[in-house]
Amino acid sequence: ADLGIIKGDLLGFGMMAVTFALTGMSSIYAGRFTERHGLMGAMLWARGIVVALLVLFPLSPWFWLAALIYMLRLTFSGASLGARQAQVVSLVRDERRGLAASVNAASFQVPQSIGPGIAGPMIAAGMFVTPFYVAAVLQAIYVIGYGRVFRRYERAAETSRN
């Protein structure tokens, strides 16, 4: 029976499944990477790679390469979430950890919800590459700012443990 599903839909479903599997595996690997390089190191490396992949994405001349870059970008983005969550909740008292985790999640979800409303009109106006570069610049600013703000807390925690 014809289910009305075209090959492209099946390809998209398969790509999503592979991306989710890679993100899960990268989260597990990120735990090991964090043990070796610290919370900040793991988060900053992963987010830096995400920014680089975001810059490369619109330059891709082929769909398969754009899909691969997108999959890798989501994989590294997901890998950084655990380190970031651990960093944030380690800085607050036990009774505030739920709130800290919620604010942490919102700091990712709110920009993701606003982005399409800004990028959509840009793309409709023919600025196909601009939204990616604007997002890359904003994410780079975030990574640098996060590193500067939270690096001192990681150093203070390390000195208090020693």
Percent of the chain with pLDDT over 90: 32
Average pLDDT over the chain reads 85
A 10 A CB-CB count for 154 gives 18
A 10 A CB-CB count for 18 gives 13
In this predicted structure, the answer to whether residue 105 has a pLDDT above a threshold of 50 is yes
DSSP secondary structure string, 125-152?
TT-SSHHHHHHHHHHHHHHHHHHHHHHH
Least confident of 53-57, 75-79, 141-145, 157-161: 157-161
What integer pLDDT is reported at residue 134 of this predicted model?
94
What integer pLDDT is reported at residue 156 of this predicted model?
59
What integer pLDDT is reported at residue 136 of this predicted model?
95
Average pLDDT over residues 105-113: 85
Percent of the chain with pLDDT over 70: 87
Please answer whether residues 68 and 14 qualify as being in contact, where contact means their C-beta atoms are separated by less than 8 angstroms: no
Average pLDDT over residues 103-107: 86
Task: Give 14 or 93, the one with higher predicted confidence.
Answer: 93
Predicted confidence band of residue 1 (pLDDT cuts 50, 70, 90) = very low
CA–CA gap between residue 48 and residue 83 (Å, rounded)? 14
**What pLDDT digit, counting tens, does each position of 46-77 carry?**
999 999 999 999 999 998 899 899 999 989 98
Contacts of 46 (CB under 8 A, 6+ apart): 30, 76, 77, 79, 80, 83
Average pLDDT over residues 25-41: 84
Q: Identify the sign of the CA torsion 4, 7, 8, 12.
A: positive
Predicted confidence band of residue 124 (pLDDT cuts 50, 70, 90) = very high
In this predicted structure, the answer to whether residue 160 has a pLDDT above a threshold of 70 is no
